[in-house]
Amino acid sequence: MRDYKVVVLGAGGVGKSSVTVQFVQGVYVESYDPTIEDSYRKQIEIDGRACDLEILDTAGVAQFTAMRELYIKSGKGFLLVYSVTDENSLKELLALREQVLRIKDSENVPMVLIGNKCDLEDDRVLSIDDGIKVSQDWGLVPFYETSAMYKTNVDEAFVDVVRQIMRKEASISAEKKQQKELQKQNELNKQEEAQSGANDTQKEETQNNRLKQSINDPSNTPSGSKCCTIM
């Protein structure tokens, strides 16, 4: 069973805890209690593979943002949550995403964009198109509108980010394997070149030895040759 750490990020009051608890426990938490840090575990099967998820529900309020960097460093995948009833919550995600990319030092970070509270149509100030535009600006990051109350797209969002983690790990593993094979092939080529050079040297020495033997062998002197002295 593989372990995957998923971090839920977003402004305060967007429903990060409600989405997380709905996914982990299947219940809706209606009351709002500002989170400092909550950690949950859930075992699920994705594409035939058993996964043990550690989900970190982080603080959205300002006084706890100093802890966020530690969470980001340890996380493998990220759910960035805003509320469709709060325009500023989406703007805050722009800075959050930049922080994630900076800390992870990569543009390829498993990530999902979530527009929560889609059931509150009367209070909505952000449309689906607003979320789609941000998704496109971020390089087509998967985007879901969710309802923690009705569990709309909640499971799908978590499964999506875990699949991204799986694909990234598989890609890194394949790349490492390819590098090892290339390194092994280079070493074999060097050994072959060294052996070939040794064989050429041995062949040249053999030819030189044969030439020396041929020169020094009296039997190689032409028959009937005489040394004549003229008186």
User: Rounded to whole angstroms, how far apart are CA atoms 131 and 127?
Assistant: 7
The helix-helix angle for 16-25 and 154-216 (nearest 10°) equals 80
Per-residue pLDDT at 190: 82
The total of other beta-carbon atoms located within 10 Å of residue 111's CB is 22
Domains of the chain: 3-173 (3.40.50.300)
- Strand residues in the chain grouped as ranges (E): 2-10, 37-46, 49-58, 77-83, 111-116, 143-145
Mean pLDDT computed over 198-225: 68
Model confidence at 32, pLDDT cuts 50, 70, 90, reads low
Backbone Cα Rg of the chain: 35
Tokens describing residue 212 = 């020396």
- The answer to whether the CB of 1 falls within 8 A of the CB of 153 is no
Mean per-residue pLDDT over the chain, rounded: 86
Nearest CA among 212, 193, 189 for reference residue 201: 193
Q: Dump pLDDT digits (tens) for 89-120.
A: 999 999 999 999 999 999 999 999 999 999 99
The first and second tokens of residue 157, run together, are 């969002």
First to last CA, the chain: 107
Residues β-bridged to residue 6: 55, 77
What residue spans of 1-150 are helical by DSSP H?
16-25, 68-74, 87-104, 128-137
What is the mean pLDDT of the segment spanning 68-76?
A: 90
